[in-house]
Amino acid sequence: MKNLFTAVLLFLATAAAAQNANDPIIMTVNGQPVTRSEFEYSYNKNNAEGVIDKKSVDEYLDLFINYKLKVEAAKDAHLDTLTSFKQEFASYRDQQIRPAFVEDADVEAEAQKIYQETQHRIDSMGGMVKPAHILILVSQRATQEQQDAAKVRIDSVYQALKAGADFAELARKVSDDKGSARNGGELPWLTKGQTLPDFEKAAFALEVGQMSEPVLSQVGYHVIKMIDKGGFFPYDSVHADILQFIEQRNLRDGIAERKLGEIAEAEGTTKEAVLERKMNEMTAEDSDLKYLIQEYHDGLLLYEISNSTVWDKAAKDEAGLANYFKKNKKKYAWDEPRFKGMAYHVKDKADVKAVKNAVKGLPFDKWAEKLRTTFNNDSVLRIRVEKGIFKKGDNALVDREIFKKDTVVKALEKFPIDAVYGKKLKAPKDYQDVRGQVLPDYQEYLEKQWVAELRKRYTVIVDDAVLKTVNKH
């Protein structure tokens, strides 16, 4: 027995060595191994045909390491234990794994079930009919004279048909239902509940080949001819339509849910445990699926920690933005002056001064709300305003009044009086004047600091020999 146990251990060790030889460790990040196949998956996906900024393996290496470092930081922050993370990841995992529980036989069984239920319902209501009709429209607002004229027309049609006129030919000539008229008056197969009640009652009472007397419905007068009638369509003729219905209504997910419940009950476990096991089985056989799911898992963590550490943090760090702008002020210099203010249009000349007085002394970002509550706080608009930081060419009124350009300003209907208010600046005074440029730069600055700190905190070891074999083995 001891010799057998030793042989098993030797076999497992040999198998592991063979696996490592086929897919060696290319690096470790904070002690976590990364296989060559994982790195290749990421590299090839992000440098596929059509990618504009393709990277060499060496160039991509740093980006990949930074990515892994951030994921390790997210794990250390226990972001992967949050309920919100677990729920979102499970939802994505389920999209990839749940369909595997549904086999072709399951879909066929569902199609048969849908067919049988539909067949029973339709046949129990009297089956299906395929009528043709000639319609003379009568508007619901028709006068008595118009109704009488329509009755005379349908009666003449009916008499012509009784005298031997061809139904299809007459339908093409006189029917007001132009859609069916093109087909000689023929309608599609109908079941009860699909058409007008009075039309339905008359149609279902006819035998094949029989023609009705004029019938009045909500839309006008009909003469109906029964082309054919019978039970629901044969299964083979509607099979493709039922399969399409299953896909459109996402009934596969219902099949998967039912099978998950059956497996979990039979094994005395949970649906979550069944899904987890299935994922492990599938990813063991399909490395692309394995790395796709891992990529989503790590991507969620990366987003959460990047948002809290860089993106959202920078957007809310007003002091940090101001300080960064102050240190890098030359970077945001303008090549020509700007106008920081507003171009506005009013109905009453007195409002020109009233607008200026309303915002005078207020911070620039408070102007819009003050103007709205002061002048446009009810259903009657008193002013039209465009507020911002304008360069030459942005606004015709600003060009004329501030930059002294010979510009034609188109008058606004109902707001004939034009005015401007604000300051002409040679350079931005504070970061708010160029916030759209400062914010992404500050975010990039914070990210570089963060990555530098992560590289000090976590050990990264790269096997250069394995790196040289990427996409070359």
Are β-strands 220-230 and 215-216 bridged in parallel, bridged antiparallel, or unpaired? antiparallel
CB atoms under 10 Å from CB of 124, counted, come to 8
Report how far residue 69's alpha carbon sits from residue 247's, in angstroms, rounded to the nearest whole number: 41
Contacts of 391-397 with CB under 8 Å at 24 or more apart are 391/334, 391/336, 391/338, 391/339, 392/336, 395/343, 397/343
Q: Which residues contact 442 (CB under 8 A, 6 or more apart)?
A: 314, 317, 320, 321, 324
Report how far residue 100's alpha carbon sits from residue 92's, in angstroms, rounded to the nearest whole number: 14
Alpha helix (H) residue ranges in 378-418: 396-401
CB atoms under 10 Å from CB of 315, counted, come to 14
pLDDT tens over the chain, length 473 residues? 444 333 333 333 333 333 466 899 999 999 999 999 999 999 999 998 888 889 999 999 999 999 999 999 999 999 999 999 999 999 999 999 999 999 999 999 999 999 999 999 999 999 999 999 999 999 999 999 999 999 999 999 999 999 999 999 999 999 999 999 999 999 999 999 999 999 999 999 999 999 999 999 999 999 999 999 999 999 999 999 999 999 999 999 999 999 999 999 999 999 999 999 999 999 999 999 999 999 999 999 999 999 999 999 999 999 999 999 999 999 999 999 999 999 999 999 999 999 999 999 999 999 999 999 999 887 788 999 999 999 999 999 999 999 999 999 998 999 999 999 999 999 999 999 999 999 999 999 999 999 999 999 999 999 999 999 999 99
Q: Tokens 């979102």 label which residue?
A: 88
- Residue 246: the pLDDT is 97
Q: Is 185 left (phi over 0), alpha (psi -120 to 50) or beta?
A: left
Report how far residue 457's alpha carbon sits from residue 77's, in angstroms, rounded to the nearest whole number: 14
Q: Does the pTM exceed 0.85? A: no
Q: In Å, what is the CA distance from 452 to each residue of 66, 345, 448?
A: 9, 52, 6
- Residue 6: the pLDDT is 36
- Residue 20: the pLDDT is 61
Nearest CA to 467 out of 62, 196, 69, 49 is that of 62
DSSP string covering 83-95, please?
HHHHHHHHHHHHH
Report how far residue 264's alpha carbon sits from residue 270's, in angstroms, rounded to the nearest whole number: 5
3-state SS, residue 216: strand
- Residue 50: the pLDDT is 83
- Residue 371: the pLDDT is 95
Report how far residue 251's alpha carbon sits from residue 257's, in angstroms, rounded to the nearest whole number: 10
- Provide the β-strand partners of residue 388: 341
- Residue 1: the pLDDT is 41
**Both tokens of residue 146?**
């118009």
CB atoms under 10 Å from CB of 91, counted, come to 9
**Both tokens of residue 234?**
């044969």
The answer to whether residues 424 and 314 touch, using CB atoms and an 8 Å cutoff, is no
- Residue 254: the pLDDT is 95
Name the DSSP class of 186: B
Contacts of 108-117 with CB under 8 Å at 24 or more apart are 110/246, 110/251, 110/255, 111/239, 111/242, 111/243, 111/246, 112/235, 114/242, 114/245, 114/246, 115/235, 115/238, 115/239, 115/242
Q: What is the pLDDT of residues 333-378, one digit of tens each?
A: 999 999 999 999 999 999 999 999 999 999 999 999 999 999 988 7
Nearest CA to 362 out of 374, 379, 350 is that of 374
Binning the chain into helix, strand and coil, the percentages to the nearest 5 are 60, 15, 25
Q: Which residues contact 371 (CB under 8 A, 6 or more apart)?
A: 355, 358, 359, 383, 385
- Provide the β-strand partners of residue 128: 230
- Residue 464: the pLDDT is 97
Q: What is the pLDDT of residues 106-149, one digit of tens each?
A: 999 999 999 999 999 999 999 999 999 999 999 999 999 999 99
